[in-house]
Amino acid sequence: MGMILDFPILAALIFSVALNLLFFLIAMASQTDKLTDFTYSLSFLLLDAVFFFLAFLGGQVGVIEIMMAIFVAFWALRLGAYLFRRILLMGSDARFDGRRENFWAFLLFWLIQAVAAWAVMTPVLLLFMAEPLLEIPLLTWVGLGLFVLGFVLESLADAQKFVYRSRAENDGHWVDQGLWRYSRHPNYLGEIILWWGLYFAAIPVLQGWDYLSGLGPLYLTLMLLFVTGVPLLEQKAQKAYGDREDFAVYRKSTGLLFPHFPGHAS
């Protein structure tokens, strides 16, 4: 307990890594992809619950801390349930083909996932560990508002994609309805917005090196835009539909991340 109270951010990192290593061993032994995204969401949920509880015990809980804890919990539960249901239907995740059989490659992915969850959650953890704000600043309200906006975008985009993919008549076609008519990756846009929102909400309690916690949402943004998110899905879509003229029209008239309206070149 002393380490957690004296070095909360380091303790959170150790906790996240230990949790992911535990599930990695299970996933590696059973050669399953069903635990990966589930554990990612679980990392956020448990970090949120444990450190909010510690803040509560320390008498450091105010309105913003309660709201922040509830927001993160809703996000983690919603995303975790969605991803777990999806992998149960898919059976396997193509991202891990050729990787789940390789101990070190598979382990590296899980370690990166553990560190990512910790880094993105750091602004929230710092807010929990700080003295409660007597007055709630405008920037905090703006940040919480951005979270709500991002959460709605991500949830709605995921729901629309799931419904579209579940219809037999849409087999062999990309999602181009609802939010996906205006953005090729509206779920990622929502994800980016909501985590930057929580960072902005925490800024009023940050001091000195604490501001570097903004590297968490920055890391998430860069990963989604340039590494694991958008590039992989764009390559997959291009491979599947690249020879179709109607797909070329869709790509040209639809924003990559930020919405563009059909008929206007991106």
Query: Residue 36: its pLDDT value, please?
Result: 85
Work out how many domains the chain is built from and give that number.
2
Range of the domain at 217: 133-266
Query: Residue 262: its pLDDT value, please?
Result: 57
Give the residue from 132, 134, 139, 147 showing the smallest Cα distance to 65.
132
Of 132, 151, 178, which residue is a domain's last? Answer: 132
Per DSSP, 228 falls in state S
Determine how many CB atoms are found less than 10 A away from the CB of residue 244: 12
| Strand, helix or coil for residue 175 | coil
Q: What is the Cα–Cα distance from 155 to 163, expressed in whole angstroms?
A: 12
Give the residue from 99, 87, 75, 82 showing the smallest Cα distance to 191.
75
Residues 80 and 194 in one domain: no
Residue ranges, the chain, pLDDT below 70: 1-6, 94, 98, 261-266
Give the residue from 50, 51, 15, 22 showing the smallest Cα distance to 36.
22
Residues 114 and 30 in one domain: yes
Determine how many CB atoms are found less than 10 A away from the CB of residue 169: 7
Which pair of tokens denotes residue 204? Answer: 């009023």
pTM of the predicted protein model = 0.90
Residues 124 and 167 in one domain: no
Query: Residue 198: its pLDDT value, please?
Result: 97
Q: pLDDT per residue over 71-120, tens digit each? A: 999 999 999 998 888 888 777 776 777 677 888 888 998 999 999 999 99
Query: Residue 266: its pLDDT value, please?
Result: 39
